[in-house]
Amino acid sequence: MGKVVLAAINSKYIHSDLAVYSLRAYAEKAGQSVEIQEYTINQLFGDILKNIYKSCPDLLCFSCYIWNRSLVDGLIREIRKLLPETWIWVGGPEVTYCAKEYLEKNPGADGVMKGEGEAVFLELAEHFQNGGSIERTTDIPGLAVRTAEGICETADRELLDMDSLPFPYGDLEDLADRIIYYESSRGCPFSCSYCLSSLERKLRFRSLALVKKELQFFIDRRVPQVKFVDRTFNCDRERALEIWRFLAAQDQGVTNFHFEIGADLLGEEEIACMRGMRPGLIQLEIGVQSTNPDTISEIHRKMDLVRLRENVAQIRQGGNIHQHLDLIAGLPCEGYESFIRSFDQVYRMRPQQLQLGFLKVLKGSRMERKAREYGCVYMDREPYEVLKTRWISYDEILALKRVESMVEIYHNSGQFCHTLELLEGQFSSPFEFYRRLGDFYEEKGYDMISHSRLRRYDILLEFMTERTGPRQEALIEAMTIDLYSRERLKSRPSWMPDQEPWKKAIRDYIRREGLPKTVHIEISSGKALLFDYRSKDPLTDNVQPIYIQV
């Protein structure tokens, strides 16, 4: 029996690759023995190569995505030199829609598993273990194979019944402290032109009985976070509502579940269900992408923006659900000024996180087919990110990159909430604030340096002082609140008020009130603020200060 290895290279250690776990579970159910090896793109190339070589695989299969494609290609070139008899195959969305082209450019790979991988991987592994040849893999549907006569693409496979897929996580020992990915459906009912999921229009669901059993597995084992990879989880409203009600009823106060949803599809029942959930039980990722109606129409996206905005506001009012809203820059019909409007409209919906992403022209997507028409110039190598279009220049893309960086640092970190609330009103719009801050970083050369959290506050104070005059007492107070809302500081910034005159009064108050050592009292602008780190907000990881008299 030869050794079969599934190799996954993730973007971060905390991430896991659902594909390889699902392929292994499907193969092992049929009696095959399969080993999983997971790495990250941050590991040294030589270390990954050494580890794979020492594992001595006879059949080696890589899971390919836009974040690991170049690394996988490089590994295959070197492994082929070291292990010339090993069968090397690839699969995943990065190679499915360009299988023939991939094999032409990567002579070290024997073949590509196209599309849904469980059944084709099992048949390939069985063929290998039974002593079959590479040439005869042309009898297996769902492959692109390198043969003596050239590259042969076999017939497409029938899609699997979701209930035929075994649960991929028999145990979680290898996934301690990592994000667990889970799918309860495959396919997507929508046809967004930039997304590969739109190519698989047949929507298939795993039965609710199985889903509930598997979710209970995560809850009972107190898994920190489970991310559903369903493309639009609530496209079936009744099904989504039943799962959410189940999670609320079975909640043990630990596991967080992440869902990608269409916010405009939510009804009153779903929102009412969310209102009753423990803060932090679920979080929602909502793809807005653009608020320009011409753009939404051109990318074949269906969205009721008015209803989306109303539902996001209702969820936010509940104060217990983390919302992550997405925008995509570089879409057709959206120029720089239009994107500013999209940004400001979405930012004012007040999500906990706003992801400003950039269009990726994925192989096989409708966007790739129309790129020339759109004047869309994009990177030749992954992640195939847009450089310019008919509507937006590269200089404008670079300006949005600066805004993206500032939003990530100052808004999405959740560490500057009071400060941002104070500052945003001093600019004509949220976008203008982040634009000018990003320009300031570039002018000073700060964008080329990795800064500590405290230094980010120093830079923000410097930025505001240069543009609005002397330091403002309100700004100092807001920054002090933000700093101590997250944690007690080991060292104090130079701009923070001296606490020496208040030390005795603070000690006396803590002793008189019988407060634990987990609290901190800070005097700012003549006001005493109590920070109790026992009661952090599960959505922001911050504590809400209380004004007291000392």
By the 8 A CB rule, do 89 and 109 touch?
yes
Asked if residue 98 lies in contact with residue 112, where contact means CB atoms within 8 angstroms, the answer is no
Tokens of 475: 């700004």
Q: What is the enclosing helix (H) or strand (E) of 529? A: strand 527-532
Print the SS3 string covering 226-272.
Answer: EEECCCCHHHCHHHHHHHHHHHHHHCCCCCEEEEEECHHHCCHHHHH
State the pLDDT at residue 66. Answer: 93
Residue 255 buriedness (CB in 10 A; 0-12 / 13-18 / 19+): buried
Angle at 304 between CA 299 and CA 310, to 5 degrees: 140
Low-confidence residues of the chain, pLDDT below 70? 198, 200-201, 468-471
Cis preceding linkage at 383, omega within 30? yes
326 alpha-carbon distance from chain centroid: 10
Question: Each residue of 273-312: pLDDT tens digit?
Answer: 999 999 999 999 999 999 999 999 999 998 999 999 999 9
Q: Pick the closest to residue 136 from 110, 164, 170 (CA basis).
A: 110
Please enumerate in sequence order all residues whose Cβ is within 8 A of that of 130, keeping only pairs 6 or more positions apart, or say none: none
The pLDDT of residue 177 is 79
CA distance 283 to 287: 13
How far is it, in rounded angstroms, from Cα 254 to Cα 24? Answer: 28
Structure token pair of residue 197:
């999921």
Cα torsion at 329, 351, 427, 296 (round to 10°)?
A: 30
Give 125's DSSP letter.
H
Amino acid 330 reads G
Helices 208-220 + 237-250 axis angle, to 10: 30
Q: What is the pLDDT of residue 469?
A: 58
Instruction: Using the CB atoms, write b or e for 236-253: b if 16+ within 10 Å.
Output: beebbbebbebbeeebee
Longest dimension (CA), the chain: 87
Element (H, E) at 355: strand 353-358
How far are the Cα atoms of 40, 226, 501 from residue 522, in angstroms, in the given order? 42, 38, 12
Q: What is the pLDDT of residue 535?
A: 87
Neighbours of 73 (CB within 10 A): 19
Distance, C-alpha 537 to centroid of its chain: 22
- Under DSSP, the state recorded for 203 is -
* Reported pTM: 0.93
Find the helix packing angle between 417-424 and 453-468, rounded to 10°: 20
- Bridge partner residues of 5 (DSSP): 35, 60
Angle, alpha carbons 543-348-436 (nearest 5°): 90
Among residues 167, 153, 289, 309, the alpha carbon closest in space to that of 226 is found at: 167
Residue ranges in 425-526 assigned as alpha helix (H): 430-444, 453-468, 473-486, 503-513
Residues 142/156, Cβ–Cβ less than 8 Å: yes
Q: What is the pLDDT of residues 95-117, one digit of tens each?
A: 999 999 999 999 999 999 999 99
